[in-house]
């Protein structure tokens, strides 16, 4: 098929490159001229493993092009994928202005039948509202709408594109469903067919459930610290029960990123707007916000205050494997420690520049993980980058003033740091 992908973020690019690899021809549109110019010469606008190589090979094969002008590509397309962002607006509701702007742009230029696939995470009722929008523009007959939510994770976006757990197809019409199914030929995964509303709500449900699981294990970890239990044992017991599942049971300083906080908040608000008080979600949100504060309080208590003391921080990204620092719990912890007067020297393999805007002045960035430790009284681990486990802890101990490690991700818990002369504090692990 000839496809247009609107929005060149993680979801848009993963879909554009993924469908190109499956043999489709893809034109990608983005309103950010700088991003388009960069992509056009084969440069990625963000860090995502595997994407630079796939971008190069798809450009060489002539299967993917980039433009800022939707009008120049939409009329050659059989399908368009809406992959624009839906960031939280001030009241917490998703801001749909990018979705509406893209739909209006398509309606303005459209003169032939088009399959329009909504990939952006949108509240229940959005597809119905979009249909009305196209009808008002006199283009209702030209558009077949499908709600096909995305479940890919940053850091493994391409793997998730090619091997998803399921393809959700929300549409009221059999032909539209068949078209979406054929577009996904080559992707071996169950097709879950449903209404637009179910597809829209299920996407929020998936993120909210996983976030709730994280908040649950964080509460268990807090209880472990008070009872003498070890949360790793609790994780093992829970995770070995297939009814529970082992994923998303790692405790830490709380979930972050551009999706979980936004989507849990939006679902809570959506429930409220429908006259339902979704209490489990308020608790998951509260626990998540408190978790980073608890970590900071414990660190401050253990060190006897942080004012004027130098701390080495490993990790600013919202999770390991990504350069994204949006709504990062690591950034919140750094801000809180800095606000209490600590001197912070931070290192992150990919997210230093992404985090810079959200950080206060005066945070020092180190060129390597070991350099961050120079003269610091403690090492604070805030992001679960796998490569932190491979750092030489002999070198770390030599550089640190105090051999104290506060691990907000339990990333180094099994490395035997106490035997190497460190005092180690994890989350839910007995010191």
Binding residues for ligand UGA (CB under 6 A): 121, 150-154, 207, 210, 214, 248-250, 252, 255-257, 259-260, 318-319
CB closer to ligand UGA out of 25 and 319: 319
Write down the least CB distance from residue 90 to ligand UGA, Å: 21
Compute CA distances 420 → 158, 396, 404, 428, whole Å.
Answer: 39, 11, 11, 21
CB closer to ligand UGA out of 140 and 164: 164
CB closer to ligand UGA out of 96 and 376: 96
Contacts of 268 (CB under 8 A, 6+ apart): 92, 278, 281, 282, 285
Could you say which of 83, 124, 259, 373 is catalytic?
A: 259
CB closer to ligand UGA out of 46 and 151: 151
How far is it, in rounded angstroms, from Cα 429 to Cα 254?
Answer: 16
CB closer to ligand UGA out of 248 and 278: 248
Write down the least CB distance from residue 213 to ligand UGA, Å: 7
Which segments within 7-113 are labelled E, that is strand? 25-29, 64-67, 79-82
Q: Name the DSSP class of 366.
A: P
Which segments within 56-210 are labelled E, that is strand? 64-67, 79-82, 114-118, 143-147, 167-170, 191-194
Write down the least CB distance from residue 310 to ligand UGA, Å: 26
Of the candidates 183, 143, 144, 154, the one whose C-alpha atom is nearest the C-alpha of residue 167 is 183
How far is it, in rounded angstroms, from Cα 343 to Cα 332?
Answer: 15
The residue to which tokens 């208590």 are assigned: 301
Q: Is 373 a catalytic residue?
A: no
How far is it, in rounded angstroms, from Cα 280 to Cα 290?
Answer: 15
Write down the least CB distance from residue 395 to ligand UGA, Å: 26
Write down the least CB distance from residue 41 to ligand UGA, Å: 27
Active site residues: 259
């Amino acid at each position: 098929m000839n496809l247009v992908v609107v929005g060149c973020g993680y979801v848009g690019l993963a879909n554009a490159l993924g469908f190109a690899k499956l043999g489709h021809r893809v034109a990608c549109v983005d309103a950010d001229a700088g991003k388009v110019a960069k992509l056009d010469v084969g440069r990625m606008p963000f860090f995502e493993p595997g994407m630079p190589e796939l971008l190069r090979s798809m450009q060489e094969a002539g299967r993917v092009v980039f433009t800022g002008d939707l009008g120049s590509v939409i009329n050659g397309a059989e399908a368009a994928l809406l992959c624009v962002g839906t960031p939280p607006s001030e009241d917490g509701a998703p801001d749909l202005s990018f979705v509406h702007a893209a739909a209006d742009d398509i309606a303005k230029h459209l003169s032939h039948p088009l399959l329009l696939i909504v990939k952006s995470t949108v509240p229940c009722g959005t597809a119905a509202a979009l249909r009305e929008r196209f009808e008002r523009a006199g283009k209702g007959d030209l558009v077949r709408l499908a709600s096909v939510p995305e479940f890919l994770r940053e850091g493994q976006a391409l793997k998730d594109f090619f091997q998803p757990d399921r393809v959700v197809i929300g549409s009221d019409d059999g032909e539209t469903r068949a078209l979406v199914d054929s577009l996904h030929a080559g992707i071996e995964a169950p097709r879950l067919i449903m209404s637009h509303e179910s597809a829209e709500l299920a996407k929020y449900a998936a993120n909210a459930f996983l976030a709730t699981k994280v908040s649950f294990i964080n509460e268990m970890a807090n209880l472990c610290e008070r009872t003498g239990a070890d949360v790793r044992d609790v994780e093992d017991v829970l995770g070995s029960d297939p009814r529970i599942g082992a994923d998303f049971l790692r405790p830490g300083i709380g979930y972050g990123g551009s999706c979980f906080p936004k989507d849990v908040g939006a679902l809570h608000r959506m429930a409220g707007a429908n006259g339902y008080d979704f209490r489990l979600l308020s608790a998951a949100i509260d626990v998540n916000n408190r978790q980073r504060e608890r970590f900071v309080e414990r660190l401050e208590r253990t060190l006897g205050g942080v004012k004027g003391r130098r701390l080495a921080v490993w990790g600013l990204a919202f999770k390991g494997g990504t350069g994204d620092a949006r709504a990062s719990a690591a950034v919140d912890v750094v801000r809180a420690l800095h606000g209490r007067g600590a001197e912070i020297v931070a290192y992150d393999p990919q997210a230093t520049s992404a985090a810079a805007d959200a950080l206060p002045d005066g945070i020092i960035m180190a060129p390597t993980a070991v350099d961050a430790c120079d003269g610091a009284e403690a090492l604070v681990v805030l992001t679960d980058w796998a490569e932190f486990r491979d750092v030489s802890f002999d070198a770390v101990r030599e550089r640190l003033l105090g051999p104290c490690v506060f691990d907000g991700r339990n990333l180094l818990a099994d490395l035997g740091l106490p035997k190497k002369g460190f005092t180690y504090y994890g989350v839910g692990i007995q010191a």
